[in-house]
Structure 1
Amino acid sequence: MATSTIDRRYEKYLKLSGVKRILIHEFRRSHASYLIHKRCNPLVIAQRLGHKNVVKALIM
């Protein structure tokens, strides 16, 4: 998917939802926090974040 398409969709859904804009890296951290909250396996979280080391994924 082209980045321009992602940007347009992001703008559209921001307006529809009324939530504040966050950076892409903040999405990554929010997703990691959500997975931790749901007690997801730390190895799965590390893999989803692209880390080879589970400890590194959990301290980011």
Structure 2
Amino acid sequence: MSKNSQFTPTELHHWQLTLAEANRHNIFCHCRHCEAEWVDSSEEAACPHCGSKNIERIACWQFPDD
């Protein structure tokens, strides 16, 4: 464990699992073709508006709540 870590190895593992779970179910999607935006749990989904596969995906946990 790093001297600078604020987590025990068990806590760090739990935190990483929590982030992985959030990533699997809360993906902000932006279609580069038609500019549509939506939240999805699939990393392979096409745009529901135009069918494009040219999608930018960002994990929602990266956005502030306010």
TM-score, normalised to structure 1's length? 0.35
More helix by share: 1
TM-score, normalised to structure 2's length? 0.32
User: Quick check: which has more Rg, 1 or 2?
Assistant: 2
